[in-house]
Amino acid sequence: SSSSRDESLRDKRAQILSRGLPKQKPIEGVKQVVVLASGKGGVGKSTTAVNIALALAANDSTKEVGLLDADIYGPSIPKMMNLKGNPELTPKNLMRPLKNYGIACMSMGFLIEETAPVVWRGLMVMSAVEKLLRQVDWGQLDYLVIDMPPGTGDVQLSVSQNIPITGAVIISTPQDVALLDAHKGAEMFRKVHVPVLGLIQNMSVFQCPKCKHETHIFGADGVRDLAETLGLDVLGDIPLHVNIRETCDSGQPVVISQPQSDA
């Protein structure tokens, strides 16, 4: 019958596709991998990734936490974590992460000049991602937080298909154009069988420091509505606050420099 023919075709297609996928191999010494992703750039993903890594360490001092900056074209973790310099090499020719605030960090930003543009084609980018995933000596980590580049392209697929990921967190502002891309990001992770832990609504409300009036610059509940559509949780709601921006720009993220503040 035509339905059984269709089914056998689907099975064959699935077999062919699965042959082309790389075998997932854990990163040595790393127990849990959490990826922070967004469909659109400029929604505060790196800032949130940095503060989540610091918060994981602050919540339990027995846990070892690492932070991997997978944004090859626009690495921002070195500045936000106040780190400069080149990684040392171990006797096995692996790179040693640079460390600050107790967090082991690795980024393309440690391997190139701060102002040098990365003008590479896809294959070179894939090679760099492979190096950052496989040629780093993380020691023993309870959590590795990966700050993904924006979008749903080669880097996201390469990371998702090469290593087992405990879960992905999607970050978006409540603005409609950001939500469209956040939706695509969530669907991409579902397609590659990465559990989506939930969504974070960033820059959700601005409070005037003088009169305390609150303004929803990018909209009010867009991420909540998207989470409902996708059947996911909203993990947090982060205001648009000057302290969050200033502390990350100065290399002293708010979780470490102002742990008692509302932000």
Q: What is the pLDDT of residue 125?
A: 82
The count of structural domains within the chain is 1
To the nearest 10°, the Cα dihedral for 170, 173, 177, 182?
10
Q: What is the pLDDT of residue 16?
A: 59
Q: Decide if 88 is inside a domain.
A: yes
Q: What is the pLDDT of residue 1?
A: 67
Q: What is the pLDDT of residue 69?
A: 94
Q: Which domain holds residue 131?
A: 27-258
Look up the CATH number of the domain holding residue 128: 3.40.50.300
Q: What is the pLDDT of residue 51?
A: 96
Q: What is the pLDDT of residue 22?
A: 59
Q: How far apart are CA 116 and CA 113, in angstroms?
A: 5
Q: At residue 200, what are phi and psi to the nearest 5 degrees?
A: -115, 130
Q: Decide if 192 is inside a domain.
A: yes
Task: Say which amino acid occupies 24.
Answer: Q
Instruction: Give the residue ranges of the chain where pLDDT is below 50.
Output: none
Q: What is the pLDDT of residue 32?
A: 96
Q: Helix 154-162 and helix 122-134: axis angle, to 10°?
A: 30
CB-count burial class (<10 Å; 0-12, 13-18, 19+) for 176: exposed
Q: What is the pTM of this model?
A: 0.85
Q: Decide if 187 is inside a domain.
A: yes
To the nearest 10°, the Cα dihedral for 214, 218, 220, 221?
-150
